[in-house]
Structure 1
Amino acid sequence: MFAEKPTLTGERVRLLPVGPEHVEGLITLISDPEVQRLTGSHGEVDHEVARQWYSTRGEHADRLDLAVMAGDEYVGEVVLNELDRHNLSCNLRIALIGARVFGKGYGTEAIELVLGHAFATTPLHRIGLGVFTFNDRARHVYKKIGFVEEGVQRDTLLWEGEWHDSVTMSVLRPEWQSRSRSLA
């Protein structure tokens, strides 16, 4: 479903298929303590493992991994993964490189570009995600884009001795198409 790995261009960001040239940015992203907390990422990633990971993403037709670029700078990644071909659904995840790029509209535009591409070029019906309840900024962005909160998964993240819930959200093809028409 994601055999083609497009380059998508907006006003603020350009989305490129990830490759080994983005590994340094990925290492910076996953090493940032705030990004780790917001994504619930425990542990460290080896540089060689990250290089191998980004080197092979283009080979997978069941996912779409795109680097978020602001000019020539890697500022994050947006991914469609966990494809369910039978039910025409997948998961979306996004991570930006840290506080220095938060609040600039990069994430909003990256998500809008990838959703627009997915709903225009695939038969996907549902794109879902999970976001921790403490991540108010992300929840606000997802709602603004058109994601709907579906429910809460309790105690999904143990972070520094405290349990945190996760909110399940999704956007459906008809909702996205209706929203896109109203913005045109």
Structure 2
Amino acid sequence: MFTNKPTLSGERVTLRPVGPEHVDGLWELVSDPESKRLTGSHGTIDYETAKIWYGSRGDHDDRLDLAICAADDDTYVGEIVLNELDPHNLSCNLRIALVGPRAFGRGYGTEAIRLLLDHVFATTELHRVGLEVFDFNDRAAHVYRKVGFVEEGVRRDALRQDGRWHDSIIMSVLAPDWTVRSI
């Protein structure tokens, strides 16, 4: 479904297919404590594995991995991914992560999500894009609601972080709803 790996341009960001040239940005992202906390990441990855990972994403037509680059200077500020494709039910998962405080609060995430959803609902048969966000990530939940995601439910105590349990909020956007919002 994702054989076409597009470059999508907006006012704040350009989304580009990830490749080994983005590994330094990915390394910054996965090494940033705040980014790890907000995404609930527990694992670690070494630099060479990150380079191999980004070098292989273009080979998969069941996912779309795009680097989020600042439009003004083309620096890597995060990634946005469509994965967990369910071709029978025309649905997939969206995940997004920014490199940390230098990228937060600048509208990069909002525009990246809008660009990607505009593209995917206009060029594929996808009907549903879902995601999960942890209950402590108010900034991300606000952005998801602002762009059109609707809360569907909660996975209670889905994440244990720093000795505390956190819920995961399940959200989605449907193609017919997106089409109406885009008119």
> Which TM-score bucket, shorter chain as reference?
over 0.9
Q: Which amino acid aligns with 1:149?
A: E
Deviation at 1:25, TM superposition (A): 0.4
Q: Which amino acid aligns with 1:179?
A: R
TM-score, normalization by structure 1 = 0.97
1:36 corresponds in structure 2 to: 36
Deviation at 1:44, TM superposition (A): 1.4
Distance in 1 between residues matched to 2:114 and 2:182, nearest whole Å? 10
Matches within 5 A, 1:59-78: 59-70=59-70, 71-78=73-80
Q: Which amino acid aligns with 1:170?
A: S
3-state SS in 2 of match to 1:118: helix
1:45 corresponds in structure 2 to: 45
Deviation at 1:100, TM superposition (A): 1.2
2:172 corresponds in structure 1 to: 170
Aligned counterpart in structure 2 of residue 126 of structure 1, from 115, 125, 128: 128
- Is the Cα contact below 8 Å between 2:14 and 2:74 reproduced in 1? no
Distance in 2 between residues matched to 1:30 and 1:111, nearest whole Å? 20
TM-score, normalization by structure 2 = 0.98
Deviation at 1:43, TM superposition (A): 2.4
1:103 corresponds in structure 2 to: 105
Deviations 1:159-183 (A, max 9, x none): 01101000000000000000000xx
Identity of aligned residues (%): 70
Runs in 1 of length 4+ with deviation above 4 angstroms?
none
Deviations 1:66-107 (A, max 9, x none): 000002200000000000000000000000000111010000
Q: Which amino acid aligns with 1:64?
A: L
Deviation at 1:62, TM superposition (A): 0.3
The unaligned stretches of length 5 or more in structure 2 are: none
The unaligned stretches of length 5 or more in structure 1 are: none
2:24 corresponds in structure 1 to: 24
2:15 corresponds in structure 1 to: 15
3-state SS in 1 of match to 2:102: helix
Deviations 1:133-182 (A, max 9, x none): 1100000000000000000001111101101000000000000000000x
C-alpha RMSD of matched pairs (Å)? 0.5
Say how many residue pairs are matched: 181
